[in-house]
Amino acid sequence: MDIKKIYESKTARSIFFGICIAIVALLIFQAGIFVGLRKAEFSERLGENYYRAFGPSRDRVMGFFREEIEGGHGASGKIVRIDLPTFVVAQADNTEKIVMIDKTTILRRFREEIKDTDLKVDDSVIVLGSPNEAGQIVAKFVRLIPEMATSSPTSTQPIMHN
């Protein structure tokens, strides 16, 4: 038997093509398993830190909070502790959120850009960012606001706007 004839035969090509397709399919399947595992690990770690990240549980109606839908991508309130690169914000509902800042975080007082060392305990802030696996908010933007701006809209005090 000539080996060259075996490689040139339709049967050998079909078998080789089938093996290649099976290998590609297995690689795609393995990539799906890898991505799914990463998502599951993230969800598990976020679930373990849920109450630290999003506050105490409340009565829920069909998966939503009865009083309001809470956002996990920010915080507003007073700074109660600073240990750079993190600080803790106490919110009006008595929850505390840990905020992490880095070189890319924009810090402002009104329109003026400030440094992280300008943050002080009892400053009122609004933080926008995204939660990480440890239940902290990774801040993209932090704005110091006047004391009266943290009042509720039903308050008789005026709210200052920029």
Which pLDDT tens digit goes with each residue over 92-143?
888 899 999 999 999 998 888 999 888 999 999 999 998 888 888 999 999 9
Q: From CA 137, how far away is CA 65, in angstroms rounded? A: 21
Res 53: pLDDT: 57
Res 95: pLDDT: 87
Greater pLDDT, 6 or 107:
107
Res 150: pLDDT: 44
- CA neighbor of 53 nearest in space, from 128, 123, 155, 136: 136
Give the single-character DSSP code of 17. Answer: H
Res 101: pLDDT: 93
Residue 109, Cβ neighbours under 10 Å: how many?
16
Instruction: Round the average pLDDT of the chain to a whole number and report it.
Output: 78
Q: From CA 146, how far away is CA 12, in angstroms rounded? A: 77
Greater pLDDT, 90 or 64:
90
Res 45: pLDDT: 74
Strands 74-83, 64-65: pairing is unpaired
Please tell me whether residue 134 adopts helix, strand or coil conformation: coil
Look at domain 73-150 and name its CATH class: mainly beta
Q: From CA 30, how far away is CA 138, in angstroms rounded? A: 31
Res 10: pLDDT: 83
Q: Which residues pair with 113 in a beta bridge?
A: 108
pLDDT band, very low/low/confident/very high, at 61 (cuts 50, 70, 90) = very low
Res 74: pLDDT: 84
Res 151: pLDDT: 46
Both tokens of 40, joined, read 């599951």
